[in-house]
Structure 1
Amino acid sequence: MRLQNEREQLVAYGKRLITSHLTTGSGGNLSILNREEGLVAITPSGMDYFTTQPEDIVVLDLDGNIVEGKRKPSSEWRFHLDLLQHRDNINAVVHTHQVYATTFACLNWEIPAVHYLVGFSGDKVPVAPYATYGTQELSDNILKTIGDYNVVLLANHGLIAVGHSMERAFAAAEEIELVAQLYYQTKCIGQPVILNNEQMGEVLMSFQGYGQGRRK
């Protein structure tokens, strides 16, 4: 079976989409690019994450052709493939319908630096203009918006997070949901204080060494 490791990751992280409250039902989708083989593992369309098995994961080439798998790939396969080829530091894509972030997507509002953890995206979370799900127009809107950001809101739809690994992309989706909830709550109470460019610049520099890399 091609891309066994990537398939197993998608099965595990698909369940986490539900248990982490980042989507409901069969909503959302996940993909991982194996750059050495030039192949993408992507979740199947409309399947329950808790019944999905590694053999249900679909393997595509970068032109969108099915290389292996009996299921239909996610209806959002276009933006997955386009994002994975857009920047060489993107190897995984997470698409969710998480409630707080999607609330701001439905308002067509960016999420500003109300908390330093917005740095998982960049200095903010931008919003891509609305287009019907599964269309090339939606993919084009995402590519025009994402720039160097790691998270993008999809107007009236949801959220996309990208990363060099599935672990990193998924973490970005989770952390931005926290930031979105904090932004929502501060807006309910009063006027949130937003971190300035200098403050966020320091955060982003610090994030470059974040994690369990070798100490220098």
Structure 2
Amino acid sequence: MANFNDSVYVEKMCELTNRLYGHGWDERNGGNVSLRIDAEDLAQFDDVKQVIRNIPIEFDATALAGDYFLVTGTGRYFKNVIKYPERDAGLVRIAKDGRSVDLYWGFNDGGQPTSEFPSHLMTHIERLKQDDNQRVVMHCHPTNLIGLSFTQPLDEKGLSKLLWKMQAESLVVFPEGLGVIPYMTPGTNDIGAATAAKMAEFRVVMWPHHGIFACGDSMDETFGLIETVEKAAMIYTTIQAQGGKILQSITDDDLRDLANSFGVVPNPRFLALDKVNA
């Protein structure tokens, strides 16, 4: 039998929170990550057999009752997770009442899940309706994407096409585009509900003047999605720093060729593959 502390789940959580911090996307205690883990995948671990304590949550997560999540803690600095994973993260199971979680591992100093955990759970619920392989939610503060929310109209089509045209990879990685919600106070169920509603169509949602919410099948995939979005925003920032004059660019027809070549379908609200109807 093995210990959960030495598992690939904890290893990957440590690796990616450290990389998020290293990119400058999770300053201080900014950002949070949750990973849904199947019960059968936890059977091999000796140290997750008993409930340590029960923790209330401010959301009715009955739809996820019985599901396990490895989640970062509230008020924890991402730079420290790699050194103190059993303190700054925890493995919890949504209790039958839906209003609390049972802690099986971690938060060994009395901590609890991130204050954004209700928002994570709302997104998990919505993404499972779209794709039952979706199991990761990441929230962080990518600098250049946040910058766009101050200088560009908060329009999904406009922002999505801007990011698609900054690099060929963008359309391939997030062909559905970028979801956008209005500025809202973070840490509330209201922002969680607004984000989850967008997750019916998108895997990545901008929180204007704040950050990004993204989801995927794995930690690496979700991190890569954020990287791709932020790289496109960084290219735009670099263009503006070089004077903002664009002499040549990726066109709508180029995007159509990309979509056909890579077998992806762009969001039809943003780009029709039939250019007659574009």
User: Would you say the 8 A contact 1:93–1:161 is kept in 2?
Assistant: yes
Q: 1:39 to 1:130 in 2, by over 3 A?
A: same
Of 74, 81, 84, which aligns to 1:45? Answer: 74
TM-score by length of 2: 0.65
Give the Å deviation of 1:162: 1.1
- What is the 5 A alignment of 1:1-216? 4-36=7-39, 38-52=67-81, 53-56=84-87, 57-62=89-94, 63=98, 65-68=100-103, 69=107, 70-87=110-127, 88-107=132-151, 108-109=154-155, 110-112=159-161, 113-114=164-165, 115-119=167-171, 120-186=173-239, 188-190=243-245, 193=249, 195-196=251-252, 198-199=256-257, 201-202=259-260, 205=263
Give the Å deviation of 1:125: 1.7
Return 5+ residue gaps in structure 2 as ranges: 41-66, 266-278
Name the SS for the 1:50 alignment partner.
Answer: helix
Name the SS for the 1:182 alignment partner.
Answer: helix
- 1:210 matched residue in structure 2: none
Identity of aligned residues (%): 21
Cα distance in 2 for partners of 1:159, 1:116 equals 21
Greater Cα offset, 128-137 or 5-14: 5-14
Q: 1:71 to 1:86 in 2, by over 3 A?
A: same
TM-score by length of 1: 0.82
1:60 alignment partner AA: V
User: Would you say the 8 A contact 2:138–2:213 is kept in 1?
Assistant: yes
- Residue-by-residue CA offset, 1:34-91 (whole Å, 9 max, x unaligned): 1346211110112222323231212333436232133121111112111122122321
Q: Where does structure 1 differ by over 6 angstroms across 4 or more consecutive aligned residues?
A: none
2:263 alignment partner AA: M
Return 5+ residue gaps in structure 1 as ranges: 208-216
Q: 1:132 to 1:202 in 2, by over 3 A?
A: same
Q: 1:183 to 1:89 in 2, by over 3 A?
A: farther
How many positions carry a matched residue from both structures? Answer: 207
Cα distance in 2 for partners of 1:34, 1:195 equals 41
User: Would you say the 8 A contact 2:26–2:78 is kept in 1?
Assistant: no
Cα distance in 2 for partners of 1:129, 1:159 equals 12
Cα distance in 2 for partners of 1:138, 1:121 equals 22
